[in-house]
Amino acid sequence: MVLKNNEYILDIVSVGYEGEGIAKIDGYPIFIEGAILGEKVKALMVKVKKNYAYGKLIEVIEASEERVEPKCRVYKRCGGCTVQHMSYKKQLDYKFERVKDCVSKIGGLDSLLVEYPIGMEKPERYRNKVQLPVGIVKGELSIGFYASRSHNIINLDTCLIQDEVADKVANITRNWMIKFNISAASIDGSFNKNGLIRHVMIRKGFTTNEVMVVLVSTKKDVPNLDRFIEEIKEKIDGIKSIILNVNKENTNVILGQECITLWGEDTITDYIDDFRFNISPLSFFQVNPVQTEKLYSKALEYAGLTGEEIVFDAYCGTGTITLFLSQKAKKVYGVEIIEPAIINARENARINNVDNVEFFVGKSEEIIPELIEKGIIPDVIVVDPPRKGCDIKLLDAIGKAKPKKVVYVSCDPSTLARDLKILEEKGYKTEKVQPVDMFPHTSHVETVVLMSRK
């Protein structure tokens, strides 16, 4: 029997979906964050449930050859990079096994369908966007990231997965707030309705080197904003846009709807392959442009387009995949429920002179059957749903539409595998499963799948 607050010597025999090591005592699983497959560890039991327990890693007694010293000084406290203690090769191995496990156990498919993940040559400093919470923690102004499973902000001066410009902007913001006594809208994790600054967001175009800084405040009137603007202009290379975003609500939503351009342009520009995108504070844009190009190229390859096909792009967002598909399709129809995203998508098509795409606002499970009723029959359907996977009504619509191919882009292997099983029952055969490591040092993995009509 495993007891809470007791320490145990354990062998790590498998890996959980979040990258944690799993040990077993008489078949009873114990999840231990920071432990690696094959290690022997000492762990303190911090949560004991009927069917599983969580242990806190106290000591690594026998270390894996794949264990590395994390480069980040706040790694153990920060909730961002959960697998930085693994070598990058080991991280890819873990993501490979995770996708295979989901595909076989949840999807009921052959794990041999899964290819080895496409990794990065340089898996650091890959993010082009960061949103840093600002708050008072134990009397000290902190700008950084939330600690794991909490709203406590860890003050940090550098983050190894963000672009270096984010470190500089965070430092400028911190010094400005201290110097001019600018209040924060969070105190020890609680909303401070009398405070001002909530977040600072930094976006960078990796191709253009254009930088946008967004200060998120509870009010329009922020004292000494001119000094902040001058500091950013003087010290940040490539600065093109400085914006104040107003968010008065006591909510976990970071950005409000009101954006005030304090200096420069309303947007910055970046490219994915040859396509240009104008990026506003509220725009969705993939945070790892290097891997995004690989992911979208694989989706285009799987679609196998010849120039004669009608393609539906469900959950199209701001139209990034739609534009990629347009290169080799006769016509692409993009569908997205969020209206501002569709406005962006139409603008993205316009600035890239793409005229064989059409966008619709609404639920894919409702719009796609309507298009089919009008006689628009898809040869290929591409889906890129949120983490919860596809709506069952959309999967039903795909089954009725009977496209020759379905290309499924997923950010969650579990819901992906569930949906693949449903589509298999609707007459589709899973041909290829390709994971892509969009988020090194984290447990997340993207996957693109090709399915063909049986």
The residues that are catalytic are 411
* Residue whose structure tokens are 């983490």: 387
Joined together, the tokens standing for residue 256 give 């409000």
Give the strand pairing for 331-336 and 190-191.
Answer: unpaired
Joined together, the tokens standing for residue 341 give 């995203």
Say how far apart CA 404 and CA 377 lie, in whole Å.
Answer: 11
- The residues pairing with 434 across neighbouring beta strands, listed in sequence order, are 448
Q: How many CB atoms lie within 10 A of CB 214?
A: 23
Residue 395: HSE in the Cβ half-sphere, 13 Å Cα cutoff = 20
Say how far apart CA 157 and CA 141 lie, in whole Å.
Answer: 13
Q: Which of 241, 179, 177, 235 is nearest to 205 (CA)?
A: 241
**Exposure string (b/e) for 91-117, b if CB count within 10 Å is 16 or more?**
bbbbbbebbbbbbbebbebebebbbeb
Kindly tell me the sign of the dihedral angle through the C-alpha atoms of 371, 363, 290, 419: negative
Q: How many CB atoms lie within 10 A of CB 306?
A: 10
Say how far apart CA 314 and CA 419 lie, in whole Å.
Answer: 14
Say how far apart CA 156 and CA 84 lie, in whole Å.
Answer: 17
| Residue 161 zone, left/alpha/beta (φ > 0; ψ -120 to 50; rest) | alpha
Q: Which of 399, 454, 397, 408 is nearest to 435 (CA)?
A: 408
Dihedral, CA of residue 232, residue 233, residue 236 and residue 241, to nearest 10: 90
Q: What is the DSSP letter of 289?
A: H
Say how far apart CA 12 and CA 32 lie, in whole Å.
Answer: 9
Say how far apart CA 192 and CA 190 lie, in whole Å.
Answer: 6
Q: How many CB atoms lie within 10 A of CB 89?
A: 10
